[in-house]
């Protein structure tokens, strides 16, 4: 089984358990993470 298939199966399991799975091709910056999960600057204060 390839890595993509393993990731897809793991993602499906986590989704069934109620988790939201975000995948990035590279390690994201804090700013990118905040953007993807919807945190605004006002929320961080």
Q: What is the mean pLDDT of residues 24-37?
A: 92
- How far apart CA 38 and CA 44 sit, in angstroms, is 11
Asked if the model's pLDDT at residue 11 lies above 90, the reply is: yes
Confidence of residue 45 (pLDDT cuts 50, 70, 90): low
Helical H runs in the chain?
Answer: 3-16, 30-37, 41-44
The total domain count for the chain is: 1
Asked if the model's pLDDT at residue 29 lies above 80, the reply is: yes
Q: Is the model more confident about 20 or about 42? A: 20
Domain membership of residue 32 as a residue range: 3-44
Tally of CB atoms within 10 A around 41: 8
pTM: 0.63
- What is the percent of the chain with per-residue pLDDT over 90, rounded to a whole number? 67
Mean pLDDT of the chain: 90
């Amino acid at each position: 089984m390839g890595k993509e298939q393993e990731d897809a199966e793991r993602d499906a399991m986590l989704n069934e358990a109620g988790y939201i799975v975000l995948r990035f091709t590279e390690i994201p910056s804090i700013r990118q993470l905040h953007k993807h999960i919807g945190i605004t600057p006002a929320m961080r204060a």
